[in-house]
A = this chain, B = another copy of it.
Amino acid sequence: MQFDLIKGNAVIGQSGGPTAVINQSLVGVVNALRGADAITGILGARNGVRGMIEERFVDLAAVSPETLERVAITPSAALGSSRDKPDKAYCEQIFEVFERNNVRYFFYIGGNDSSDTCRIINELSDDVGYELRCFHIPKTIDNDLVCNDHTPGYPSAARFVAKAFMGDNLDNASLPGIKIDIVMGRHAGFLTAAAALARQHEGDGPHLIYCPERAFDPTKFVADIDRMYTEHGRCLVAVSEGIANAEGESIAAMMASSAEKDAHGNVQLSGSGALGDFLANLVKIELTPKGGNPPRVRADTFGYLQRCFPDASDVDQAEARAAGAKAAEVAMSGDKDGSIAIERVSSEPYKSEMKLIKLTDVAAKTKHMPEEFISECGTDVTDAFIEYAKPLVGELPMVAML
C-alpha cells in the first residue's frame, strides 16, 4: 500500500510517576524513528507537557546508541516527568510550540491520566485542522489501564514487592509478630496482590492481602489478624495504600493530617507512613489483652522504592521497549492516532504482542482487579492471579528455613 506521511519533527514525552522501564519505551520510540524519511528530528520534551510549553527539548537523534542503551536500563524518566494535567488553554500553548517547530508526531508515555492528555491534544489538533499524529504508550506500576493484559512498569514493581515480602516473611518468621506492609496502588490492587508471589512454603506470608477492590472494615481487619496470628503465631499483612471504606472514602486520605492534592485532584497517598502507623496502632490497641503486654506490631510503607528500584524484570524491559517501538512503527505505517496495548498471546511459555487500540478506549479509564483474581474471603488472591503475575516478574530467589 502506498501512502504519504507528512514530514516533520517528532516529540516524545514521559509523564506521571516514573517506573523502572519507562526509559525502555523512550528508547524503543527513538530507535524505530531513526532514519525514517518522514522524521526530520526527534525531540525529547523535558518534564512532559511542561517542557513542551516551555520549549525545553533534547535532540534525541544526537544521542549515541551506547548512551541510549545505558539510558534504557536506567529506572525513572530520563527526560524528566510531569504531573501537570493540561486543559484546553494549556494544549493550545502546546500547539503553538508544535506548529512553530513543525512537530507532526507526538508520542506520550504515561498512565491513564496521560492517555487522556494525549486524547485531548489529539482532538484539539482535529478541531484546529493541524495534522498531528498522537500516540500513547502505556506505563504505570498500578497496572490499572483498561485493554491491557498488564502495563509496562507493573512487572518490575511487582518483582520488587514480591522480593520485599519474601524478605519480610523470613524476617517475620525469625522474630514473630504482626507486620503490616503498605503497598502502592491508588485504585487497583494488582501491586498489593503481587505480595502473594513471595510465598514458597506452607505457612509463608503474606497471610492477609487487602486490595482497594474490597471495602475496608477496620473491625474485620483486626479480627482477621487476630485469627491468623493465633493460627501461625505471627502474621504478615499486605495492605494497599488505596483501601477505602464501604462509602468509598480512602482510609489513607482520612488519616493524612494534611490532605495535599495534585493537579489531577488525587490526594497524596505515598511518601508518608501515616496509614501504616494508624493501622499498626489500631491493631496494637485492639489486640492487647486486658492487663497484658501488647503484641509486637510493626508497619512499613514501601513507598517510592517500588517504582524505581534498580532490579527490573526482564519481561518488563522487553515489553516496554516493544511498546515504544510499536508506537513508532504504526506511526510510520500511516496510522493517525491510538494507544499501544499489551496482549497476552500465551502463558506457557509466556508470550505477548503489542496492538494498537483507540485513545478513547483507554483514556481516563481505570481497570480494577478482576473478580477471579480475588479469593472468596476477600483477603487473598486466587491461583488465577498467581498464574497471571508469575511469568511477569521473572525468576525469584528460592529460600529455605529449618
Residues of A whose CB lies within 8 Å of any CB of B are 14, 17-18, 20, 44, 58, 60, 63, 67, 70-71, 73-83, 163-164, 166-168, 170-171, 173-176, 179, 257-258, 260, 270-274, 276-277, 280-281, 284, 294, 297-305, 307-311, 396-402
Contacts and interface: CB of A to CB of B under 8 A. Distances in A.
A178 to B, nearest CB: 10
B397 A174 contact: no
Given A281-B257, A308-B167, A74 B175 contact: no
Contact of A76 (B74, B174, B294, B298): B174
A171 B76 contact: yes
A308 B75 contact: no
Q: Could you say how many copies of this chain the assembly holds?
A: 2
Given A71-B400, A400-B74, A299 B311 contact: no
A310 B280 CA distance: 25
Contact of A399 (B74, B173, B274, B307): B74
A170 B308 CA distance: 7
Contact of A164 (B44, B257, B271, B305): B305
A317 to B, nearest CB: 12
Contacts of A398: 70
Contacts of A81: 174-175
B18 A310 contact: no
Nearest to A174: B77
A304 B171 contact: yes
Nearest to A285: B258
Contacts of A82: 175
A304 B166 CA distance: 12
A280 to B, nearest CB: 7
